[in-house]
Structure 1
Amino acid sequence: MQEQTTQRDYWLCQLAGWGALACVGVLSSSSGDTQQMLRFALAKSFCMVTGLGLSHVWRLQLKRRAWVDRATGIPFGRIIAGLLVLAVLQTGCLLAADLAFRDGALLRDPSTGPVDYAMLFVLWFAIFAVWTLCYAVALARRRAQRAELEKLKLEVSVKDAELRALQFQVNPHFFFNSLNSIRALIYEDAPAAAHAVSQLAGMMRQRLQTDQTGTIPLGAEMAAVSAYLGIEKLRFDERLRAHIDIDPALAATPVPPMVVQTLVENAIKHGVERTVAPCEVRISARLGADGLVHVEICNQGRLAASSTSTRLGLSNAIQRLALQCGPQASCVLAEEGGWVRATVTLPQGAA
């Protein structure tokens, strides 16, 4: 398809350029004799047809030899030699047209001398030189566009690979944590453990489906978070106190899959697991005055500077937000008044 478009554009430019040159040549005749003007127009048209044909043959030569479509080493000497040959041939075609359509009026004109023929040769050399320059510029632009397209394709491929790698980091991490929770529950309450396995199976089924998409609605993400909290509630019982407050108007806001889930896991791991007292986890989403959606995951506790945690979940969330939601999206972790707060900021129209 692209090759057909290129060929079409090439012939449109060829016909437009040589046609315009033919019109200029015909209009340059000042003769008032209709028959002479007709012969002059035929001669000029013949010259433009031969010019078009010679330029097309020249293009085939340039393409075959790749004289102008190369990064380095343009053979200017060979190009100039080719232009000289074209100028000689086209000058000969002009004289042949003069003989065929005007009975050799140009050749029989006593005022026409060698200098005039030399000027015709120089004129055609210049015309073909300009044609070659335009062709070289068109090729350079096409090469630049092709390189830009390849660059964009590579960037998309890299982005897709990064997202897949990040997703592979998240899913095993989540699955491992959930299995640990269920394992701890098996010895205490087998029916509850069976229910938790069913919840986990449903969540994993959903994750397999959402892996095929770049983002999911915030409402779907929160449904998975609620199921996860249900699993963890079975494990921690009264130690985990979860509160979810999501503005229903924001349910359709696109978010990368498991971003909120990952931050909730972190809140439980670094909050609930580290205390024997009840620990509260709050999840909220509001539309800020800046027009951005702010999702907050808070847990009671403190940021431990000496913690051995790799903070893989937080790093993962930050990278996925940047890749999928653009520069306005962010994820910030802070401690304030005995609460650790992870704030996810993203545009309503993130894609």
Structure 2
Amino acid sequence: MGKVNVRYWLCQIIGWGIFGLIHIYFNLVVFAEQFAQHGGENEYLISLGIFLVSGIISTHILRTIIKRTNWLKFSFNKIWIIFIIGIGATSLLLFYGGNAIEHNTAYSFDNYIQKYKLEKAKKTETIAGLDKVTYYSNTPLKDSVNLKTISDIKKTTGWYRNSRGEWKFEDKSELLGIYQNLLLLALWFLIYIVYHYVDKNRRDQIDRLKLESTVKELELKTIKSHINPHFIFNSLNSIRALVDENPERARRAITELSNILRSSMQAEKAETVTLEKELDIVKDYLALEHMRFEERLKVEMDIDKDTLSQPVPPMMLQTLVENSIKHGISKLINGGVVRIAADFKGDNLELSVQNTGQLNGKRNGDGFGIKSTQDRLNLMYQGKAHFEIKNIGTNMVESKVTMPATI
């Protein structure tokens, strides 16, 4: 809140300050000769200062009122009504309030100019010899020259004599001053509205991005929370099959499972792991499965060494290997082969898991492992990564993940 107030007051001071400098430049520089004819530089500067301070105060009052109305939640039509009423009331407050303060000081520029024009009117009257003529009486003048002089005095100075001979000032600048204030405050209010609308849209966009990020994080955690139990149950089934047949292998299998669980718990804390660490988990898993399938499971690996440092989603490759065994090798009496490959294709990292077998309808995207892989890639890479599973020939299935490579 403090930073917002500081920014607001800086904008107020800078904006009104620029307006004041423009006035000073035109009056004291561009039109310096005309200004020098009547003088009053000190009075002018003091009056301008009073106007600027009055402008800051009046617009701050306007801001306070419209903030309390919570105007950003209003419809466009209601905001227009607030805009019109706000600038109308504030311009009147600025004009009459500023003038009241200025005219009650000894340095009023308006008072100075009025006195100057009065002296000019009296001087013109004396030169024309009208100071000795009661031209202001009800007796009409017939001299057209004098009539024109009287008209010019009032037109150029605003001063005229009433029927009693008293000098009166006709100020036609009041409406002009209110009109100028209307334009000035309309510009101020328009800038204020546009700024807050842009700021509101920016904050709404940030909130949407934060919400999307939170949803993405929750979805990833949900997917991960399903991966680990899915993997554990399959591994425990493998170990259970070894307990009676080969206790020694079962003990080794428990050690392998312990290594896998430790690695998976560490991987769950990170969004990505290196391919090398992911392959360690895959090798431990294959070691467990090999104890169950023995000669029915053959494993082949073709890993480019340069890909080992590439970041990949944790447990993703392991899930694909698990599916290849669960839906492929385990369904075949004679077992089959699982081939794992990693290589670069252009600017992408390509991971491939092939296994003996053929796709069926359910496996073609309906299984949890397949769906979790698709969801994770969509969430993490926003459409820049691709996953496909397809038949190769008549006796092989390939699961392939293509994702952006890190240089």
CA contact (8 A) 2:338 2:353 kept: yes
Q: 2 CA distance for matches of 1:84 and 1:156?
A: 45
* Alpha carbons of structure 1 residues 341 and 308: separation in structure 2 relative to 1, 3 Å: closer
2:112 to 90, 105, 108: 105
* Alpha carbons of structure 1 residues 217 and 235: separation in structure 2 relative to 1, 3 Å: same
**Which residue in 1 is equivalent to 2:49?**
45
State yes or no: 1:207 paired with 2:264.
yes
CA contact (8 A) 1:43 1:98 kept: no
Deviation at 1:167, TM superposition (A): 1.2
The residue type paired with residue 330 of structure 2 is E
**Which residue in 1 is equivalent to 2:145?**
none
State yes or no: 1:87 paired with 2:91.
yes
1:121-160 residue pairs with structure 2 within 5 A? 121-160=178-217
* Alpha carbons of structure 1 residues 24 and 249: separation in structure 2 relative to 1, 3 Å: same
Larger RCO (CA under 8 A, 6+ residues apart): 1
Deviation at 1:222, TM superposition (A): 0.5
**Which residue in 2 is equivalent to 1:192?**
249
CA contact (8 A) 1:99 1:105 kept: no
State yes or no: 1:243 paired with 2:248.
no
The residue type paired with residue 94 of structure 2 is Q
Q: 2 CA distance for matches of 1:312 and 1:257?
A: 16
Deviation at 1:99, TM superposition (A): 5.5
**Which residue in 2 is equivalent to 1:116?**
173
Aligned sequence identity (%)? 28
TM-score under structure 1 length normalisation: 0.91
The residue type paired with residue 57 of structure 2 is G
**Which residue in 1 is equivalent to 2:280?**
223
1:300 to 351, 356, 367: 356
Question: Once the two structures are superposed, what CA deviation does each residue of 1:38-66 show, in whole Å capped at 9, x if it has no partner?
Answer: 32122112211111111112111111122
**Which residue in 2 is equivalent to 1:182?**
239
Q: 2 CA distance for matches of 1:26 and 1:8?
A: 26
* Alpha carbons of structure 1 residues 230 and 45: separation in structure 2 relative to 1, 3 Å: same
CA contact (8 A) 1:26 1:40 kept: no
Q: 2 CA distance for matches of 1:345 and 1:178?
A: 28
State yes or no: 1:69 paired with 2:67.
no
* Alpha carbons of structure 1 residues 46 and 267: separation in structure 2 relative to 1, 3 Å: same
The residue type paired with residue 85 of structure 1 is A
Structure 2: gaps (5+ residues) = 118-156, 159-168
Deviation at 1:336, TM superposition (A): 1.2
* Alpha carbons of structure 1 residues 91 and 310: separation in structure 2 relative to 1, 3 Å: closer
CA contact (8 A) 1:98 1:105 kept: no
CA contact (8 A) 2:349 2:402 kept: yes
Compare CA radii of gyration and give the structure with the larger one. 2
CA contact (8 A) 2:300 2:338 kept: yes
CA contact (8 A) 2:343 2:350 kept: yes
Structure 1: gaps (5+ residues) = none
**Which residue in 1 is equivalent to 2:382?**
326
* Alpha carbons of structure 1 residues 220 and 319: separation in structure 2 relative to 1, 3 Å: same
Q: 1 CA distance for matches of 2:39 and 2:231?
A: 91
Deviation at 1:300, TM superposition (A): 1.4
- Aligned to 2:269, the other structure's residue is in SS state coil
**Which residue in 2 is equivalent to 1:312?**
368
Q: 2 CA distance for matches of 1:308 and 1:95?
A: 84
Deviation at 1:157, TM superposition (A): 1.2
Deviation at 1:311, TM superposition (A): 1.9
Deviation at 1:196, TM superposition (A): 1.0
* Alpha carbons of structure 1 residues 306 and 123: separation in structure 2 relative to 1, 3 Å: closer
Deviation at 1:169, TM superposition (A): 2.0
- Aligned to 1:285, the other structure's residue is in SS state strand
* Alpha carbons of structure 1 residues 96 and 230: separation in structure 2 relative to 1, 3 Å: same
**Which residue in 1 is equivalent to 2:22?**
24
Q: 2 CA distance for matches of 1:107 and 1:65?
A: 42
CA contact (8 A) 1:98 1:106 kept: no
Deviation at 1:28, TM superposition (A): 2.9
Deviation at 1:308, TM superposition (A): 10
Moved more, 206-215 or 254-263: 206-215
* Alpha carbons of structure 1 residues 84 and 40: separation in structure 2 relative to 1, 3 Å: same
CA contact (8 A) 1:246 1:284 kept: yes
- Aligned to 1:32, the other structure's residue is in SS state helix
The residue type paired with residue 375 of structure 2 is Q
- Aligned to 2:358, the other structure's residue is in SS state coil
State yes or no: 1:264 paired with 2:321.
yes
- Aligned to 1:69, the other structure's residue is in SS state helix
- Aligned to 1:283, the other structure's residue is in SS state strand
CA contact (8 A) 2:43 2:112 kept: no
How many residue pairs match? The answer is 346
* Alpha carbons of structure 1 residues 23 and 94: separation in structure 2 relative to 1, 3 Å: farther
Q: 2 CA distance for matches of 1:326 and 1:25?
A: 55
Deviation at 1:152, TM superposition (A): 0.7
Q: 2 CA distance for matches of 1:114 and 1:145?
A: 48
Deviation at 1:320, TM superposition (A): 0.6
Question: Once the two structures are superposed, what CA deviation does each residue of 1:135-160 show, in whole Å capped at 9, x if it has no partner?
Answer: 11111112111211111111111111
Moved more, 72-81 or 39-48: 72-81
The residue type paired with residue 219 of structure 1 is E
Q: Cα RMSD between the aligned structures? A: 2.3
2:333 to 276, 284, 288: 276
Deviation at 1:13, TM superposition (A): 1.5
Q: 2 CA distance for matches of 1:308 and 1:78?
A: 60
